[in-house]
Amino acid sequence: MRSNFGSRLGMVLASAGSAVGLGNIWRFPTEAGRNGGAAFILLYIACVLLLAMPVMIGEFVIGRASRANTVDSYRVLAPGKPWVVTGFIGVIGGFLVLSYYSVVAGWTLDYTVVSFSASLMKPMDYGEYFNSFIQNPSRQVLAMAAFMAVTHFVVARGVEKGIERFSKILMPLLFAIILLLMFFSLNMPGAVRGLEFLFKPDFSKVTIQVVLSAMGQAFFTLSVGIGCLATYASYFSDDTPLVRTALNVCVIDSLVAISAGLIIFPAVFSVDGVQADVGPGLVFITLPGVFNSAFGSYPLVNYIFSSLFYMLLFLAALTSSISMHEICTAYISETFHTERPVAARIVTAICLAMGSVCSLSFGILSSVHVMGMGFFDLFDYLVAKFCMPLGGMLICTFVGWDLKHSTVREQLNSRITPLLMFLFRWVAPIGIGTVFVYELMDK
Ligand code: PHE
């Protein structure tokens, strides 16, 4: 007997939990800030609607029609054909993404603990603090391993008792923290300038590079291309409306991303002399300083704001890492007929090893390069620039051209099926393919 999600709400929250993650709160504001604000946001929305959402719906179809892990799903739906490669790209992508995602997630866990202990509250050089933190081997590996252990705990408990139950608790908590922080932030003196920065379209910044980033962001933030949502969909019930569910997930995910911008930029612009477009260091270097100066005279507000902010990042990362782990755990347990807890232990052990290498690539392994990159950057490159677009392209092509039309129609059960077929067959493969080739040439 395969397990299923117990309720429609749990299923939507689990899928949205997979989507909502560091990609929304850490990556989106950074990318939007660097790439022309509203101009980037418009491109991003176009990429979601035309490219990433079709992949998500395609994954839903594959997962629910086969009711199997992402490798077996192709064996069920297209026996003897090479489509199964798409499934392997997914499982490999799952291992890689969990390994390096846990490193940054470990940082959020460490920062949460440190914020709650109030030791981030004194003025200091936060850049130096962060650099010495990421170069400290034991603290790095410990933070990553602690995060992985929490992920393991949830996944090992199973679909309904683990993933679904935790999503039902964590997601509402996450929404509540977002609303509270947004309220704080929008009442700060720099709110208007922050909103301007995020929403003023600067079309002069739009280059082909920005289009590539918008698509990369759309894929990463919606967790598509590596069979994560296909695996979740294999636990959906038969009457779950796939198109509406995908729409819900995309809307929730985009709202969270924009809310993160509404939390971060008003705060950043409320402090003189702070740069908003600094890149990935924004959340771990710039923000602690911002919290400190913005609320310096109200230590309690600073304490609450920063602790909640890092806890938000941690929780968002957790609901995503659970879904990455599940791709691999479902595959291992169904392929080798092992109990779920055993399969989960195997996945965790492999990812702990790979995650350690990634986390050390900022310190003692910083001189080791593969394809010109440290391990962390290499894994990120392989997932975001390779597995996700290639997988996404193959998924749409498979659903559009190879899968029986009656199966697709029956699964979709929607009035917009002809439109979706057009996206599966032409728009998504050609659009994603073009971007993919560009990126490979760029390297
Ligand atoms: N969507 C997640 C985020 O925004 C990341 C993710 C990628 C999750 C791939 C699952 C699979 O952080």
Q: Domain residues of the chain, as ranges?
A: 8-442
Burial of 243 (0-12, 13-18, 19+ CB in 10 A): buried
- Residue 391 is predicted with a pLDDT of 98
59, 221, 325, best to mutate for ligand 1 pocket (most atoms within 8 Å of CB): 221
Average the pLDDT over 416-430 and give the result.
Answer: 98
147, 314, 323, best to mutate for ligand 1 pocket (most atoms within 8 Å of CB): 323
Confidence of residue 198 (pLDDT cuts 50, 70, 90): confident
- Residue 70 is predicted with a pLDDT of 98
Confidence of residue 267 (pLDDT cuts 50, 70, 90): confident
Residue 397 CA to residue 439 CA, distance in Å, equals 20
Averaged confidence pLDDT in the chain: 93
Average the pLDDT over 66-76 and give the result.
Answer: 98
Above 80 in pLDDT, residue 139?
yes
- Residue 362 is predicted with a pLDDT of 93
Above 70 in pLDDT, residue 107?
yes
Enumerate residues lining ligand 1, CB below 6 A. 18-19, 21-24, 97, 220-221, 223, 226, 228, 320, 323-324
Average the pLDDT over 238-249 and give the result.
Answer: 97
Asked if residue 308 lies in contact with residue 166, where contact means CB atoms within 8 angstroms, the answer is: no
CA angle 148, 343, 330 (to 5 degrees): 95
How far, in Å, is the centroid of ligand 1 from the Cα of 58? Answer: 17
Above 90 in pLDDT, residue 33?
no
**Model confidence over 292-343: pLDDT tens digits?**
877 777 888 888 988 999 999 999 999 999 999 999 999 999 999 999 999 9
Residue 27 CA to residue 89 CA, distance in Å, equals 24
Average the pLDDT over 205-221 and give the result.
Answer: 91
Residue 94 CA to residue 383 CA, distance in Å, equals 8
Which amino acid residue places its CA nearest to atom 9 of ligand 1? Answer: 223
Q: Which atom of ligand 1 is nearest to the CA of 24?
A: 4
- Residue 443 is predicted with a pLDDT of 61
Residue 61 CA to residue 408 CA, distance in Å, equals 7
Which amino acid residue places its CA nearest to atom 6 of ligand 1? Answer: 223
Which amino acid residue places its CA nearest to atom 7 of ligand 1? Answer: 223
Backbone angles phi, psi at 370, to 5 degrees: -125, 130
- Residue 422, CB-side half-sphere exposure with 13 Å CA sphere: 4
Backbone angles phi, psi at 393, to 5 degrees: -65, -45
Give one DSSP letter per residue of 293-317, joined into a string. Answer: HHTTT-HHHHHHHHHHHHHHHHHHH
223, 226, 283, best to mutate for ligand 1 pocket (most atoms within 8 Å of CB): 223
Average the pLDDT over 372-378 and give the result.
Answer: 94
Q: Which CATH number fits domain 8-442: 1.20.1560.10, 3.50.50.60, 3.40.50.12590, 1.10.4160.10?
A: 1.10.4160.10
